A and B are shown apart, each in its own frame.
Chain A
């Protein structure tokens, strides 16, 4: 079973709108990472948020972390067509020797 799970499975918005992707995870963590995968490419990291942080920003991206509910969110403001991608969260299971575990991802489509 997956240690992290994104929802919803798919989203569609128009350019300029804001959108939020959610992530729930099942174990303790030292950090949670958000990745984006565009068609034909491997995933690329967007934001890393540590367990003692509640919010992290990177340009139009904002990630939040709530360790009490074991959940995180990634918000994108002023979306662009090039934000069309699959978005993943990844957790480390709380250990330094653990490989990051990903969910199935949220497929975001941004239309003109």
Chain B
């Protein structure tokens, strides 16, 4: 079991460019989560899916951010027209089931730097 795989590990974009981040959850896990990590805000919840269906995107900035899960083997987080304040580590996690009593298994993250 390779764990949750996130690619790329590092991404550098120019201001105004698009960035797409990829996540491959652990096989058989039905819940997939996206978080954003900065020193100031810590781990901020963005969105999550259950059985590929979007359940809660209340943490997503309403403009420029979107997430999809086209199949059970991967999810993407897309940021359009990136801005310097989008610079952060984006973490993907998966869990066997939904609910606060289930462990989240995190990937190593994608560090996004917007110049």
Q: A42-B91, A48-B101, A97-B98 are in contact. Are A102 and B42 (CB under 8 A)?
A: yes
Bound CA–CA A54/B42 (angstroms): 27
Bound CA–CA A17/B4 (angstroms): 34
Contacting pair B101 A30 (CB below 8 A) = yes
* B48 interfacial contact with A, CB 8 Å: yes
Range for the number of chain A residues in contact with chain B: 20 to 34
* Stretch of A56-64, A66-74, A88-96 contacting B (4+ beta carbons < 8 Å): A88-96
Query: Count the B residues whose beta carbon is within 8 Å of the partner chain — how many?
Result: 23
Contacting pair A43 B55 (CB below 8 A) = no
Residues of chain A with a CB closer than 8 A to B99's CB: 30, 92, 96-97
Contacting pair B106 A43 (CB below 8 A) = yes
* Chain A min CB distance to B40 (Å): 8
Residues of chain B with a CB closer than 8 A to A97's CB: 55-56, 98-99
Sample 22 A-B pairs with CB under 8 A, ordered by A number.
A29-B100, A31-B101, A33-B100, A33-B103, A35-B104, A41-B108, A42-B109, A45-B103, A48-B101, A96-B98, A97-B98, A98-B56, A99-B33, A99-B48, A100-B45, A100-B100, A100-B104, A101-B45, A102-B42, A102-B45, A103-B42, A103-B43
Q: A interface vs B, CB < 8 Å?
A: 2, 29-33, 35, 40-45, 48, 50, 88, 90-105
